[in-house]
Amino acid sequence: MSKEEKLKCLLTWATDNDAYVDPRIEFRYSEESGISAFYKSDSSNGRIVVKIPEKLILTPLDAEKHFGIVSGDKDGIDSTTLLKFYLIELRRQKSDSFYAPYLSSLPGLREIGSPLGFSPPELELLNGTNVYHGVQSKLQGLIIDYERGLKELGIENLKHYSQMDKVELYKNIILEVNSQNCESYTFGWFLWAHLILTSRAFPYKLVNRDSDNQSVMLLPVVDLLNHKAGAKVSWLGNKDSFELQIDEDPYGEAGLEIFNNYGPKGNEELFMGYGFTIDDNEFETLTLSLDIGSVSDDLTEALRKNEWKISLPKLEDYTYSVHDSLDSTKTDTHQEDMIIEVPNKVVFVCNNDHLLPDGLLELFSFMSKNDDDQYETLKSAFNGLNKLKSALDTKFKGKLEKLTSLPESVIFESTKLDENFEESYRQNYLNVKSYKKGQLQILKKIKGEIKSTEKQLLKKFRKQLITIKDILKKEESFHSILELFKLDDYSVEDMNKYDMELVVHAWMLKSVNEDLEDTISAGWIKQEFEKGVTESNDPQFIEMYEESIGPAIKNSPHLFEGSHWTLSDFLKIHTIYERNSYEKGSTLEPIIIQPTKMN
């Protein structure tokens, strides 16, 4: 039966069973976009309406009745997993099922287009992205859900999917879902059922107010409409029916497509859950999954003492995430809670409205603090920005720009397993390209926002900062020492990292030997020094002293007034430098920061 014939059977079945499909709607199938809804004629009679009666809606209650089990019991099977098994059962019943016309109209696993159904070579096109890692963890989680479900339903587990490598797993999945008959409860069909729900399901709460927030349902015909962000629609439900009203254009012209609205979703969510992407998606997101296990105990203690103001996100704050793996946390860490426990993993979702989500900069500032800091400082804020930039580069640099096509030999070999592989691959490739482009665009915006934040801090706290330009411009007496290092004619732009660090350390050491308050406010450096600072044991700076500072003192002792010019003094200065500085920009120019508490 052709796609067009299946569509016709679905609509006939629905209307024969009391569904109302507005006569101004025309559903069409095309190879390019699948099934879409259009205005059949110029609309002039108000809202477009599609109404589905209760008997056509596939719900968790139907699954519970069939299997004789109540979902949601403690340690039992959840309602969504049970509904997946029910979809498999309906496939097994074939034409005997009341829902057969609906089931036959649903897309196949590869037709859906989610990366969860990608072949291993296709998945490599996404290597280095969030989706690539999300697929691995999601498949593991689904296999566990599948095996638990089999056990709960008393169904024999015929294959050990968890022991398969990704090549063997994909081969088994494709062979299972491409077979003419769905004879058993295989993981391939479980994955298909999972993607049918993620791409087509609606909240069950719309028709059953007593259901939990996680339960979903399937709405035949309604789920044929494609998504358009911002489309004006209304979802109206009660225990007897569900009604979709198209509010966007009551006077639509013939031939224009009619859309549903899944909500504001980025391409990461659309790609994984729905199998498509949108070019230049205004709701694009970039997900940052951070392992903070190394600081979680310290952060927990700091939050309990109310020393730091950090609001960490919860994974369930997001409608869907490629990071909802087995060990993802759902621990509340907001400070108004009585008990605060910071998880080992947090997920931040950056979008165009919140390029730097609440808590992100504060978290990186905390990770950049001095060990004994009990509050956020200007130094930790600057270094937090640097640490965030570095984390973004480590995670994404060079991984979003490049995209190469699969070799023809790989496509040919894949076609032996799945004769329709090439057709689905072409669309998958376009979605990968669109997804990576969107990720790169928002990554650039995030980096721009970090740079802008840094500039604002530099301007706001200029008086608390000491730069090399300040030293070169205001400390004329220091130029005699610079001559010994052959740096007196240098500007900051001419210096390498070693030169800049030498200048800063030598000047800081000079500031504890002389009163420089008339030129640069550096009294705090002397105060820090006199508190009794621990010597650094960094071999790089021991070598710097022995190669540069020591010989200069020996050759021109008259330029070095005061008694604090020893190696020990120099290493104490380096400790002060490490505690009160950050490196700016690509040149890594060292900026000295006066100890300053942030609000």
On whether both 311 and 437 belong to a single domain, the answer is yes
On whether both 448 and 568 belong to a single domain, the answer is no
On whether both 499 and 545 belong to a single domain, the answer is yes
* pLDDT score of 157 more than 90: no
Rounded to an integer, the average pLDDT of 333-341 is 47
On whether both 456 and 469 belong to a single domain, the answer is no
On whether both 475 and 437 belong to a single domain, the answer is no
Task: Identify whether 545 is part of a domain.
Answer: yes
Task: Identify whether 63 is part of a domain.
Answer: no
More confident residue, 18 or 41: 18
* pLDDT score of 329 more than 90: no
Q: How many residues does the chain have?
A: 599
What are the pLDDT digits (tens) for 366-390?
A: 999 999 999 999 999 999 999 999 9
Domain at 384, CATH number: 3.90.1420
Domain that holds residue 422: 285-460
On whether both 584 and 441 belong to a single domain, the answer is no
The four Cα atoms 371, 377, 382, 383 give a dihedral, to 10 degrees, of 0
- The reported pLDDT for the residue numbered 403 is 86
- The reported pLDDT for the residue numbered 311 is 86
Task: Identify whether 210 is part of a domain.
Answer: no
Last residue of a domain, one of 411, 427, 460: 460
CA distance 334 to 553: 55
- The reported pLDDT for the residue numbered 428 is 95
On whether both 384 and 353 belong to a single domain, the answer is yes
- The reported pLDDT for the residue numbered 429 is 95
| pTM exceeds cut of 0.85 | yes
Task: Identify whether 431 is part of a domain.
Answer: yes
* pLDDT score of 139 more than 60: yes
Task: Identify whether 224 is part of a domain.
Answer: no
Cβ atoms within 10 A of the Cβ of 198, count? 19
pLDDT above 90 coverage of the chain, percent: 70
- The reported pLDDT for the residue numbered 326 is 32
- The reported pLDDT for the residue numbered 580 is 97
Task: Identify whether 61 is part of a domain.
Answer: no
* pLDDT score of 315 more than 60: no
Task: Identify whether 438 is part of a domain.
Answer: yes
Q: Which residues pair with residue 263 across a beta bridge? A: none
Q: Which residues pair with residue 347 across a beta bridge? A: 289
What are the pLDDT digits (tens) for 243-294?
A: 999 876 555 677 889 999 999 999 999 999 999 999 999 999 999 999 998 8
On whether both 446 and 488 belong to a single domain, the answer is no
On whether both 150 and 182 belong to a single domain, the answer is yes
Collapsed DSSP state (helix, strand, coil) of residue 289: strand
* pLDDT score of 347 more than 70: yes
Last residue of a domain, one of 460, 489, 522: 460
Query: Which pair of tokens denotes residue 124?
Result: 């490599």
- The reported pLDDT for the residue numbered 312 is 86
On whether both 472 and 444 belong to a single domain, the answer is no
The four Cα atoms 425, 430, 431, 433 give a dihedral, to 10 degrees, of 120
Computed over every residue of the chain, the mean pLDDT equals 89
On whether both 311 and 421 belong to a single domain, the answer is yes
- The reported pLDDT for the residue numbered 143 is 97
- The reported pLDDT for the residue numbered 518 is 60
Number of compact structural domains in the chain: 3
Task: Identify whether 410 is part of a domain.
Answer: yes
CA distance 239 to 216: 14
174 contacts 188 by C-beta, under 8 angstroms: yes
Between 51-60, 403-412, 503-512, the lowest mean confidence (pLDDT) is in: 403-412
On whether both 449 and 508 belong to a single domain, the answer is no
- The reported pLDDT for the residue numbered 491 is 86
Cβ atoms within 10 A of the Cβ of 253, count? 11
Last residue of a domain, one of 179, 200, 221: 200
CA distance 305 to 307: 5
241 contacts 20 by C-beta, under 8 angstroms: no
- The reported pLDDT for the residue numbered 327 is 37
pLDDT above 70 coverage of the chain, percent: 93
Rounded to an integer, the average pLDDT of 230-252 is 83
